[in-house]
Amino acid sequence: MAQEFKLKDVTSLQMKNGEKQEAEVEGVEGGKVLLLKIQDQVHATSANCTHYGAPLVKGVLTPEGRLTCPWHGACFKVATGDVEDAPALDPIAKYEVFEKNGAVYVKTTEDALKANRRYLNIKCSSVSEDKVLVIGGGSGTLGAIEGLRGGGYTGKITVISKEGYQPIDRTKLSKALLADISKAAWRQKEFYKDASIDIIEDEAKSVDFSSKKVSTMSGKEHEYSKLVLATGGTPRWLPLDGLKGDLGNVFLLRTLPDAQNILKAVGDNGKKIVVVGSSFIGMEVGNCLASMKNDVTIVGMEAEPMERVMGKKVGNIFRGLLEKNGVKFKMGASVDKATPSQSDSSKVGAVHLKDGTALEADLVIEGVGVAPATEYLKDNSSVTLEKDGSLKTDESFAVQGLKDVYAIGDIATYPYHGPGGNGSPVRIEHWNVAQNAGRSVANSINNPGSKAKPFIPVFWSALGSQLRYCGNTAGGYDDLILQGEPEKPSFVAYYTQGETVVAVASMMKDPYMTQSAELMRRNKMPTKSELQKGVDIMEIGLPNEIKI
């Protein structure tokens, strides 16, 4: 039963619009509440982001009442606590708040305060004849199915996923080599069962768009009213001897079994490991394995890791952080082949570079990118795939030329309206982009004719220090403004094209990335010249109007 709880050292609700204040709750161990004032009204919510627990008092509050996490871009509507943007799944809790006898109280239960969130309830028993079929089991699927039920959809929801388990936090596979489904899964299977969401282990074989049916590898047929294609990416093997899946102990990393197999091969650690590819996936898994006391070498073609996307200066910061952790780099290198181990010819023994260097290897991990997983559509005359195998969509992620079909995540090429985008088609392989696209599709299905809600791509990485990133450089950038102390590393990097800031990266400078994303949504990022003159984005007020 709800009761009144006094807030420690808070005597009144006199706050300015836009102000945030975290307060402890007397008598509740670890109990905290966040007070926020928007549009002349004070609200009380739970204090931490429901994604990874970031303190929301350090986040960004907008005039219209969006509260964005300082770490990974999760966004909540203050008036209701509901999730607005990925990657959070559960809403934040709302509490009644009032003044009494020179003190401030919230009215709720002790359990609600300790939970520090409102658990999303999407239980659904009465199901209508409408059918949404989702193919794929990743981040996009997660956003779509929870967005559908959370938004009131009462039709049938079926997920066809070849992975054989409920959606997991795939970002932790490379960052922490998490291989336990009970720790990796966002929800227990019962959660989806109670929501009347069927998750079937199978794989799409073909789609008949005219009769609205999907055929699977197991020989079954599934009808749909609306179809959401969310099959993600297929990690690439290098087409080189020993590295194309023809030797043992050479791994890709995309699924839970991949992580399990890597850990099995690593065993008691102390192994010589070669990571081919200085991508974020390659660096994260390399850093993780080095911290487990393995001898790790990362091989990359660029002069610095992630140079093409992040630039030489920032790539050098990444390299320095990993080297501190014991990772070795072979940059500006090309791989020739891998050869078998002398003790077991079925397994890898060395990776050979084109300059003649041989790197001994007990195991090899390839992180050389993914291709859109659209094999089941290759011979379909009803749809034309892009050159990279992706599907072209509109702003609502509806597939061009098809009715009631959406594509999200790694397989979707969509018009980008963020800074420097001008509606040009992009395909972005970010966890948040897929999940936000799923939420957008859910909203379109629940509210036919509604306008697609714009979002700025957000990305993060664990590289010895936490990297935050927003925006997109698919259209290129011609300059980089690096502010702060890169050697710490505590910096903000602004990627510019002409006078426009198209992307922002930061380390140890929260909430600069989050503030940048909100300014980008409003077309209010300062220009390159203004930044060079010393304008601090944290001192720029956020206007109400969304401009993208």
Q: Where do the domains of the chain lie?
A: 3-115, 128-234+372-446, 250-368, 458-539
Q: What is the full DSSP assignment across 377-429?
A: GTT-TT----TTS-EEB-TT-BBTT-SSEEE-GGGEEEEE-STTTTTEEE---
Q: Which has more pLDDT, 544 or 306? A: 306
Rounded Cα gap, residues 357 and 330, in angstroms? 10
Give the pLDDT of residue 15.
96
Question: Quick check: helix, strand or coil at residue 110?
Answer: helix
Rounded Cα gap, residues 176 and 501, in angstroms? 32
Q: What average pLDDT does range 106-117 have in this prediction?
A: 96
Tell me: pLDDT of 115 over 80. yes
Q: 3-class secondary structure for 188-246?
A: CHHHHHHCCEEEEECCEEEEECCCCEEEECCCCEEECCEEEECCCEEECCCCCCCCCCC
Q: Tokens 């094209």 appear where? A: 497
5: tokens are 């709880």
Q: Is the torsion defined by CA of 318, 409, 92, 76 positive or negative?
A: positive
Question: Quick check: helix, strand or coil at residue 165?
Answer: coil
Q: Do domains 128-234+372-446 and 250-368 have the same CATH topology?
A: yes
> b vs e for 66-93, b when ≥16 Cβ sit within 10 Å of the residue's Cβ?
bbbbbbbbbbbebeebbbbbbbbbbbbb
Rounded Cα gap, residues 253 and 242, in angstroms? 17
* Those residues with Cβ within 8 angstroms of residue 212's Cβ, 6 or more apart along the chain or in another chain: 223, 224, 225, 227, 404
Q: What average pLDDT does range 124-141 have in this prediction?
A: 94
Segment holding 286, helix H or strand E: helix 280-291
Give the pLDDT of residue 94.
98
Tell me: pLDDT of 545 over 80. no
Tell me: pLDDT of 26 over 80. yes
For 16-117, list the strands marked E by DSSP: 20-24, 32-38, 41-46, 60-61, 66-68, 75-77, 83-85, 94-100, 103-108
Q: What is the number of other CB atoms lying within 10 angstroms of the CB of residue 392? A: 18
Look at domain 250-368 and name its CATH class: alpha beta
- Name beta bridge partners: 105: 6, 98
Rounded Cα gap, residues 154 and 181, in angstroms? 29
Amino acid identity for residue 91 in this structure: P
410: tokens are 């790694």
pLDDT digits (tens, 9 = 90+) for 138-170: 999 999 999 999 999 999 999 999 998 999 999
With pLDDT > 90 as the criterion, what percentage of the chain qualifies? Answer: 96
Give CA 42 to chain center in angstroms: 31
pLDDT digits (tens, 9 = 90+) for 380-420: 999 999 999 999 999 999 999 999 999 999 999 999 999 99
* Those residues with Cβ within 8 angstroms of residue 448's Cβ, 6 or more apart along the chain or in another chain: none
> Cβ(234)–Cβ(162) under 8 Å?
no
Q: What is the DSSP letter of 57?
A: G
Rounded Cα gap, residues 391 and 382, in angstroms? 12
Give the pLDDT of residue 181.
94
Look at domain 3-115 and name its CATH class: mainly beta
Give CA 122 to chain center in angstroms: 22
Tell me: pLDDT of 83 over 90. yes
Tell me: pLDDT of 306 over 80. yes
Q: Which has more pLDDT, 541 or 354? A: 354
> Cβ(467)–Cβ(510) under 8 Å?
no
Give the pLDDT of residue 544.
75
Rounded Cα gap, residues 2 and 98, in angstroms? 14
Q: What average pLDDT does range 65-94 have in this prediction?
A: 97
- Helix, strand, coil percentages (3-state) for the chain, rounded to 5, are 20, 30, 45
> Cβ(171)–Cβ(52) under 8 Å?
no
pLDDT band, very low/low/confident/very high, at 66 (cuts 50, 70, 90): very high
Rounded Cα gap, residues 62 and 20, in angstroms? 11
Tell me: pLDDT of 316 over 80. yes
CATH of domain 458-539: 3.30.390.30
Backbone torsions φ then ψ of 55, nearest 5 degrees = -70, 115
Amino acid identity for residue 78 in this structure: V
pLDDT digits (tens, 9 = 90+) for 409-444: 999 999 999 999 999 999 999 999 999 999 999 999
Tell me: pLDDT of 86 over 90. yes
Q: Is the torsion defined by CA of 487, 457, 526, 19 positive or negative?
A: negative
Look at residues 321, 235, 234, 320 and name the one whose alpha carbon lies nearest to residue 276: 235
Tell me: pLDDT of 543 over 90. no
Give the pLDDT of residue 474.
84
Rounded Cα gap, residues 531 and 153, in angstroms? 46
Give CA 423 to chain center in angstroms: 22
Q: What average pLDDT does range 40-59 have in this prediction?
A: 98
431: tokens are 């966890």
Rounded Cα gap, residues 365 and 290, in angstroms? 13
Q: What average pLDDT does range 170-178 have in this prediction?
A: 95
Give the pLDDT of residue 126.
78
* Those residues with Cβ within 8 angstroms of residue 328's Cβ, 6 or more apart along the chain or in another chain: 295, 296, 297, 298
Give CA 414 to chain center in angstroms: 17
Give the pLDDT of residue 122.
95
Mean pLDDT for the chain overall: 96
pLDDT band, very low/low/confident/very high, at 453 (cuts 50, 70, 90): confident
Tell me: pLDDT of 120 over 80. yes
Tell me: pLDDT of 51 over 90. yes
366: tokens are 């390839």
CATH architecture of the domain covering 128-234+372-446: 3-Layer(bba) Sandwich (3.50)
Q: Specify the range with the lowest mean pLDDT, choosing from 119-133, 201-215, 292-306.
A: 119-133
